[in-house]
Amino acid sequence: MSLFIQQLLNGLTIGMVYALIALGYTMVYGVIQLINFAHGDVFMVGAYLALTLIWAFAAVVTGAPFWVVLTALLLFGMAGCAVLGALIERVAYKPLRASPRLAALITSIGVSFFLQNAVMLIYGSKDQSVPEIIPHVRFEFHGVSFSLTQCVIFLTSIALMVFLTWFIQKTKLGKAMRACAENFEAANLMGISADRIIRVTFVMGSALAAVAGGLFGVYYGSINFHDGYLAGLKAFTAAVFGGIGSIPGAMVGGVLLGVLEGLGAAYLSSEWKDVFAFVILIAILLFKPSGILGENLPEKV
Amino acid sequence: MRVSDFFKRLFRRHPFSCQVALFLLPFSLFPLIDKNVYHIDLMTSIGIYVLLAMGLNVVVGFAGLLNLGYAAFFAIGAYAYALLNLHAGCPFWLGLPAAGIVSMIFGLVIGAPSIRIRGDYLAITTLGFGEIVRIAFNNLDEWTGGPNGLLGIARPKIWVPRFEGGFHWETFSFSVNPTPYFYLVLGLVMFAAYLLFRMSDSKIGRALVAIREDELAASCMGVPVLKIKLTAFGLSAFIAGMAGAVFASKQTIVTPDSFDFVLSVLILAMVVLGGMGNIWGAALGALILGALPELLREFANYRMLLFGVMMVLMMIFRPQGILGSQLIRREMRTEKSE
């Protein structure tokens, strides 16, 4: 029983990270129906930016409390990735707005390759170890242990999700985003600037991915330029799982995928861990492409 | 005058054979001109890329379905030949079509359910399938040797007639020398190119283009959409499987990490660069991207970076590729995404 709860907790933790990345996929897909293949790599860039800030902190100040470093690294990653996201949208996707999906998808694969190899050239191809910034505190309860890092991941992710839900539901910009997702042309006719909404979507998605990247690096203690590919694919699975285009769906999908993966690794086989995500992905795409919370969208004629 | 008439008529009668002969036969002189073993070996590898690019072009170019797990079919072909050879002693010439057929069966099994789903979802499904295949080859240690792969795969043998001391057949085994492989690959490329030209000019080819342009309209006109798409998928997997068998016999070793996602994207980049839907375009793309790392040795580290940039730029400025048709250009420019 304690193994089960332990795996559930570990799965929930990584599920939160998947959910944060999945939000970016689902928001972009909701607005422009593009599978932004480069999103996983934005996440990876976020992790590297966080690492860079940890190095910078270590060089300049010593003995800063951990939450200061953590906040700084998350904000730094968010700012960097927000700019990157806007830049990618402007350079790579904007000229292709009127092209078929295939063209934009191929472009996003190109961007993904570019980011991966740019990071590899700058930081090297070896795993980079992330210094431990959160004190090693573990809470033990009936043989189930829960670290402070996991606690931080939970609180940060939940706070961001609450913020995002509020933003989408209540603010004017959020309403405009929903309008664009509902009917792009009609929203344009109502005076909503499509370019602006698309830019905001990319900026917010990338900032969320950056937070996920920072937390991922801190949690695992090591990052590699390849990490974005697998994490991105799993987050995409999570987005599809929950119903692509649906924001609560991405959150639920991410957490569920993390839990399923954690339990699968513990009870079935850890070697095949990565296969679970892909099998789930294919199964959902084949049998229920609308996901758990997504609406059923028929192919438009 | 009469000679030119003869050629004109020949070309009109057999346009595809003539094109294949005209563009590919000159390559048979390559080993005679350039005696550098390394260069011949490189050209052989490029030939395998050409095969793969032509095969992927059937699905991506003709049918407009993005397959991001194409390396998996290449891997299945390579492993199929390796296993048949190591366990059943299957000779290369039997293993070559067998690998193609095994790969085709996998293509049909994967394709049958997934081809119904929308274009961009299909891309992700094939990607997932590609990863599953690679991880499976990595983890099924008992059969595939795990990460170490399979060793000691037999090279092809051919029988040469000899007349000295009475007529008899002499076996000639392929060795490390790449020249025989070069001719083997060249022959396969010629075969595949001819096959694909015939296919693109047939009912299937026209149906594929119709589906790519407007699936709904095509199905209303009575094109059996699923059947045609599946045919394209199977044919494409068949070519990759044969390329895999050649690869396995040339390397005499197969390991799972030769078939990762990067290879799938590399082949896709070749098709995109050369021109989607154009058979010579795919071949040209493979030739350029295969030879580029050799020509730009000092930029070796920037290779993948440049591929990424190239894919973005091609899609923005020349979506039809170097040799792409006007048809594809118009489709890629004006078709409004839903």
What ipTM was reported for this prediction? 0.85
Nearest to A109 among B311, B336, B337 (CB): B311
Q: Cα–Cα distances in Å, from B95 out to B26, B49, B154? A: 28, 20, 10
The structural domains of chain A, ordered by start, are: 2-287 (1.10.3470)
Average pLDDT of every residue of chain B: 88
The mean pLDDT value for B161-173 works out to 83
Nearest to A96 among B68, B310, B316 (CB): B316
Residue in chain B lying closest to A107 (CA): B312
Q: Cα–Cα distances in Å, from A125 out to A212, A224, A272, B251, B297? A: 21, 7, 25, 26, 19
Residue B320 has pLDDT above 50, yes or no: yes
What pLDDT is stored for residue A244 in this prediction? Answer: 85
Q: How confident is the model at residue A76 (pLDDT cuts 50, 70, 90)?
A: very high
Sign of CA dihedral B117, B138, A42, A27: positive
B53 CA to centre of own chain: 4
Residue A295 has pLDDT above 80, yes or no: no
**Do the chains contact at A282 and B131, CB–CB below 8 Å?**
no
Instruction: Please indicate if any CB of chain B lies within 8 Å of the CB of A104.
Output: yes
The b/e string for B139-159 (b: 16+ C-beta within 10 A; e otherwise) is beeeebbbeebbeebbbbeee
pLDDT, tens digit, 9 for 90 and up, residues A24-59: 999 999 888 888 989 999 999 999 999 999 998 888
What pLDDT is stored for residue B49 in this prediction? Answer: 96
Instruction: Please indicate if any CB of chain B lies within 8 Å of the CB of A300.
Output: yes
Residue in chain B lying closest to A113 (CA): B308
Burial of A283 per CB tally in 10 Å (0-12, 13-18, 19+)? middle
Q: How confident is the model at residue B338 (pLDDT cuts 50, 70, 90)?
A: very low
Residue whose structure tokens are 């032509």? B54
**Do the chains contact at A110 and B66, CB–CB below 8 Å?**
no
Rounded to whole angstroms, how far apart are CA atoms A220 and A154?
A: 15
Cβ neighbours around B247 below 10 Å, total: 27
Instruction: Please indicate if any CB of chain B lies within 8 Å of the CB of A236.
Output: yes
Residue A208 has pLDDT above 90, yes or no: yes
- Measured between beta carbons, which residues in chain B are less than 8 angstroms from residue A99? 315, 319, 332-333, 335, 337
CA-based nearest distance B234→chain A, Å: 19
**Do the chains contact at A91 and B315, CB–CB below 8 Å?**
no
- Measured between beta carbons, which residues in chain B are less than 8 angstroms from residue A87? none
Residue B242 has pLDDT above 50, yes or no: yes
